[in-house]
Copies of this chain bind each other. A is one copy, B any other.
Amino acid sequence: MKKASIVSIGNEILSGETIDTNAAYLSSQLFSSGIPVISSYTIGDCQDSIVRRLELAADDADIVLVTGGLGPTDDDLTRQAFAKFLNVELTLRNELLEKIQQFFTSRNRQMSPKNKIQAYLPANTKAITNNLGTAPGIMFVLRSSTTTENGAEIKDKLFFALPGVPSEMKEMFERTVLPKLKTFTTEQTVIALKLKCFGAGESTIAEKLGDLMQRNRNPLINCTANYGVVTLHIIAKAKDKKTAKEMVEKDKKSLTKLLGKLIYGSGEQTLAQVVGEKLAQKKMTIAVAESCTGGLLAKLITDIPGASRYFTHGWVTYSNAAKVKELGVPADLIEKNGAVSSEVAQAMAEGARKKADADIAIGITGIAGPSTDNSQKPVGLVYIALASNDICQVERFTFSHDRNFIRPITCQTALNMIRLKL
């Protein structure tokens, strides 16, 4: 089986300024393509150190993926390090220079002279088009020979350099690198499937699955959690695609039976996507009225391209006056019960539904912290109301952790309430 190694380049990673999400993204993508990452290296903007990491990575792996260091400034040294590693010169590629110039002219901007360096690539390497930025990627195949008992074995090693900007890196990886890797690794098939769950914790789900989660099982079932979303990875290895696929499908059925409505989707689906698809299918509309989540729920809903089909109105009524004036929440209701109350959440949802003339509306009020001015109402107390044509349901939650956790978990919980309603 082919193995990969990742080299992340940038002082900003070593200084802790940037969390290396690129390595995690690539690892996950490679893992589900059946190419295990067996090591990764992080190094600063220093040419010799980069060259040394390329050597170390190539010792371990058949595929070396480098991210970062392709920018236009003097501390971007991946191009130079690749040239030194290959012992070749950097050469100007006119077609790349034209593309970079076009990038700027199409945006009515002047190209900085610094950007010219991005059109230089090591001789005998291939450029990877960057559709989102100015830095082209680099690709080459290194023929390497390993001496074994039966003589020298020739092995190709694939090298890729991708930009450090996550959006550019991902676009390039999915469009060009991944298809290339799939033709390069053929001897074993790995099929992976992710099931996405919401409504129970990791340990509860693990208990429900029991023996299915044994470490030496094939398919292997892994479990990860993020802001209440639990992802189950089913990873089947087999000699051929058909067998692996059947194994995955069989496990998918077992898990669906065990977990029921806890499973909301598969692959990379988010709750906002699933809810959006259902709303679009049913030609229903939704409006949201937020207090403590401050626009985050609207943001999550409109993260999805095409959300305008079902999302029309959102209110962030942070003050009591805004709740009264914009949503028609009765002032005495707030006075009597407090802004963080079941009654106010309900009035917000109903007001939003009426004003937006929507099929469904959400009202959220709660205490995101860091502090609370009411000892009866702790940080993390949240009311979520869902108003629809028949009924308004209100649920009370007490979430743990801090503001940065309470706000997203509240929004995910609201999306899950909509999902179950639909």
Contact = CB atoms under 8 A, between A and B. Distances in A.
A115 interface: yes
Contact of A370 (B16, B133, B233, B305): B305
Contacts of A308: 318-319
A72 interface: yes
Contacts of A322: 312-313, 356
A41 to B, nearest CB: 6
B24 A28 contact: no
A212 B56 CA distance: 34
User: How big is the A interface, by class?
Assistant: 35 or more
B314 A302 contact: no
A222 interface: yes
A167 B380 CA distance: 15
Contact of A313 (B26, B37, B201, B319): B319
B39 A41 contact: yes
Interface in A274-319: 288, 290, 293-299, 301-303, 305, 307-308, 311-319
In the assembly, how many copies of this chain are there?
2
Contacts of A290: 295
Given A44-B38, A206-B74, A302-B318, A133 B401 contact: yes
A27 B36 CA distance: 26
A39 B26 contact: no
A328 B107 CA distance: 33
A203 B103 CA distance: 15
A25 interface: yes
A292 B103 CA distance: 23
Interface stretch (A78-86, A151-159, A223-231, A249-257): A223-231
A125 interface: no
A204 B21 CA distance: 25
A36 B20 CA distance: 17
A150 interface: no
A74 B16 contact: no
Nearest to A401: B132
A350 interface: no
A186 interface: no
A400 interface: yes
A226 B23 CA distance: 17
A129 to B, nearest CB: 15
A317 B311 CA distance: 9
Interface string A324-354: 0110000000000000000000000000000
Given A14-B27, A36-B14, A312 B318 contact: yes
Contacts of A132: 400-402, 405
A307 B298 contact: no
Given A203-B114, A224-B18, A39 B40 contact: no
A403 interface: yes
A177 interface: no
Given A302-B316, A314-B295, A16 B39 contact: no
A62 interface: no
A318 B314 contact: yes
A72 B206 CA distance: 10
A301 B305 contact: no
A95 interface: no
A325 B326 CA distance: 11
Given A112-B203, A290-B295, 7 more contacts: A11-B222, A14-B37, A15-B222, A38-B49, A75-B213, A132-B400, A315-B316
17 contacts: A13-B24, A14-B40, A15-B233, A39-B49, A73-B203, A73-B206, A75-B215, A75-B223, A167-B402, A294-B311, A294-B314, A295-B302, A303-B404, A307-B318, A314-B314, A315-B315, A315-B316
